[in-house]
Amino acid sequence: MRLSNYFLPTLKETPADAEMESHKLMLKAGLIRKVTAGIYDYLPLGFKVLNSIEEVVREEMNRAGAQEIKLPIIQPATLWKETGRWEDFGPEMFKLADRKDREFALGPTHEEIITDMVRNELNSYKDLPLVLFQINDKYRDEIRPRHGVMRSREFLMKDAYSFHATQESLDETYERMYDAYARIFDRLGLNWVAVEAPTGLMGGSYSQEFMALADEGGEEIVVCESCDYSSNVEIAKYEVSSKGDGKGPSKLKKVETPGMETVEEVAEHLGISSQKVVKTFIYRTDDGLVAALVGGDDDIEEMKLINHLGTKKAEMVSSQQEIKEITGANFGSIGPVGLDDDIPVYADLDVKSFTNFTVGANEDGYHLTNVNWERDLEDVNFINLRKVNRGDSCPECGSELEFHKSIEVGQIFQLGTKYSDSLGGKYQDETGNLNPYIMGCYGIGISRLIPAVIQQNYDSRGINWTSEVTPFSAELIVLGSEDEKSFQLGEKLYEELKKRNYEILLDDRETSPGFKFNDADLIGIPVKIIIGPRGLENGVLEVEFRSGNKEEIEVENREIEQIAEKLGEGISASA
Ligand code: ATP
Ligand code: MG
């Protein structure tokens, strides 16, 4: 590609509205332009990068035995109503109507559409297993689109779906997909980990997310360095402490705590540790109210409550008036003892070993002390409920858990029969019985992978592409365009390298050398081949790698093929 007529509008200034480094660089290097919130144009360089990532993903999906299809973006509401997700997706779904007022959505994902397709075609156990995939735009009206194509409202996803007769068959495909994902992210040069993940709106029984490690990433994960335990913080387990105080139950007491709203105030007043002032929260779920309890120093992880209850939502009751109606007290004094029997109590595993602890008395200005589980509370469900804390230990081996920031680049799910049940997708088994097929689904955020790769590969000069992502493997920079010898050598090498299937950018613009070098570094080209009169006088041209390393290549008395051969070696070595 000749830069003189390549549409590459690079920017000198850092765009004001970009916060994340990858977003700034994607704008500065002329990869994307914003149309409106969360909607972007890809310019030629950005589209080339997107295509290289797409190609890696496609190759590995084909290698794993998945078959490529293309499903519609416009999807009838009727299908989404059959699974109940027309409601569940809520405002995140872009909805529209046709001229006859029939409702449609722009597909945020494709479980409904694909299950509808196969329910009409997959009838026998002999047709299973089957794995299909597509690479297609998705539409989600994100509440806060941000960081450019990292979280946009239109984005490119690879989504695959698998159909099985048995759980073993699903397990086998799930593992094959996991391996394909590992190859994809390795080939893209990412530093990644797979973590256990909540299943969220997709549903299902088990899920893992693939996370690219990045300090600016929005997702927090925990990783054990000693064993292979790793998890999204939202569902992370921890080693439960069994530190009881060893004492038997003392007499339950109601004590005055006038005007005390916080755990710290109550603990100080009573001269006890704040952790033993057990906190109570009331949540409203699909099935009514529940009480959730954690130690005084801990916080509730709502996702854990949602997961455990299998409810779609759990909203903390946060109005003073409502909490008073439910418990009889204001927030500072609520507790589990004497709550309405209809409100089930869920307490964190860590507080199970507590004896003689303190809770609100459900009466303003009072707490109960010396509370004990069995004696004072019936039917408490102990579950993994609190947020993991720094210093927590691995639930599997007891080593300290490490916390990392990351970017979610993919997620795979064991869906079970959620969609085949609700949409009536059945196959006939060997004995003639009809069964719903067991499904898996597997997503990769292709457009999000661009900022993910950049977040791990940039410096003060710009992007530093990894070898399978880079849009060009080398750039030819001719210094002194009026120097005939340099110009001729540049032209010949350009043709010769292209013949050898290298993607080469030729900077034939009439600008200063400094400008050319800066642009090459900004857009992340791994190798610069510099041809100029000064070098040629000494019979050499210079090769500069993005790492800063330099090398001289002899050109005097060499055929153009030999020089190209030598340059090819350098390009390959840098990859
Ligand atoms: P997130 O939690 O980041 O909103 P998600 O879990 O809802 O993502 P999935 O349904 O798992 O997303 O979609 C598969 C992949 O698509 C994600 O792993 C992510 O890489 C990508 N993705 C999801 N939402 C967006 C978005 N708004 N913009 C760009 N990529 C996205
Ligand atoms: Mg996800």
Query: What does the pLDDT look like over 88-125, one tens digit per residue?
Result: 999 999 999 999 999 999 999 999 999 999 998 999 99
Residue 245: pLDDT band with limits 50, 70, 90 = low
For 328, the token pair is 């009889």
The dihedral through the CA atoms of 550, 556, 557, 559 has a sign that is: positive
**Residue 575 reports pLDDT greater than 90:** no
Q: How many A from CA of 531 to the centre of ligand 1?
A: 44
Rounded-to-integer distance, Cα 334 and Cα 289, Å: 14
User: What is the predicted pLDDT for the residue at 459?
Assistant: 96
Rounded-to-integer distance, Cα 346 and Cα 294, Å: 9
The 10 Å Cβ neighbour count of residue 495 is 13
423 lines ligand 1 (CB under 6 A): no
Question: Ligand 1 pocket check: which of 448, 449, 453, 455 to mutate, most ligand atoms within 8 Å of Cβ?
Answer: 448
Rounded-to-integer distance, Cα 155 and Cα 146, Å: 12
Query: What does the pLDDT look like over 14-23, one tens digit per residue?
Result: 999 899 999 9
**Residue 244 reports pLDDT greater than 70:** no
Beta-bridge partner residues of 155: 138
For 564, the token pair is 């190209």
CB distance 188 to 158 below 8 Å: no
Ligand 1: which residue has its CA nearest to atom 11?
A: 411
Cis peptide bond prior to 198, omega within 30° of 0: no
Rounded-to-integer distance, Cα 393 and Cα 400, Å: 4
**Residue 524 reports pLDDT greater than 90:** yes
| Adjacency order of strands within the sheet including 380-383 | 314-316, 279-285, 288-294, 345-348, 380-383
Q: Which of 335, 331, 330 is nearest to 376 (CA)?
A: 335
Q: Which of 424, 318, 423 is nearest to 76 (CA)?
A: 423
The 10 Å Cβ neighbour count of residue 378 is 9
For 364, the token pair is 């303003």
3-state secondary structure 6-34: CCCCCCCCCCCCCCCHHHHHHHHCCCEEE
Query: What does the pLDDT look like over 111-165, one tens digit per residue?
Result: 999 999 999 899 999 999 999 999 999 999 999 999 999 999 999 999 999 999 9
Average pLDDT, the chain: 95
3-state secondary structure 192-237: EEEEECCCHHHCCCEEEEEEEECCCCCEEEEEECCCCCEEEHHHCC
CB distance 128 to 27 below 8 Å: no
410 lines ligand 1 (CB under 6 A): yes
553 contacts: CB under 8 Å, gap ≥ 6: 540, 541, 542, 543, 563, 566, 567, 570
- Nearest atom in ligand 1 to 444's CA: 15
- Nearest atom in ligand 1 to 145's CA: 27
Q: Which of 567, 566, 466, 485 is nearest to 525 (CA)?
A: 466
